[in-house]
Amino acid sequence: MKFFLAPAKNMRPAPAAAGRPLQRPRFQREADRLAEDLRRYSAWELEGLLRVNSSIAWRAFSDYQSFSSAGPGSPALLAYSGLAYTHLAPDSFTPEDLAFAENRLFILSALYGLLGPSDEIFPHRLELQIPYRYQGQTLYQFWGEKPCRALFSGGETVVNLASAEYARLILPFLQRGERLIQCVFCEYRGRRRVTLPTFAKMARGAMARFIIRRRLTDARQLWDFQAFGYAFVPGFSDEERYVFVRREEG
For 52-97, how does the pLDDT look when each residue is reduced to its tens digit (9 = 90+)? 999 999 999 999 999 986 678 999 999 999 999 999 999 999 999 9
Integer Cα distance of 71 and 19 in angstroms? 19
pLDDT band of residue 119 (cuts 50, 70, 90) is very high
pLDDT of 28 reads 96
For CA atoms 37, 38, 40, 46, the dihedral sign is positive
Q: Where are the alpha helices (DSSP H) in 117-196?
A: 139-143, 146-151, 164-167
pTM as predicted: 0.95
Percent of the chain with pLDDT over 90: 88
How many Cα atoms within 13 Å fall on the side-chain side of residue 220? 1
Confidence band of 17 (pLDDT split at 50, 70, 90) = confident
pLDDT at position 192 is 84
Instruction: Report the pLDDT value the prediction gives residue 70, as an integer from 0 to 100.
Output: 62
Q: Are 61 and 46 in contact (CB under 8 A)?
A: yes
Predicted pLDDT at 250? 39
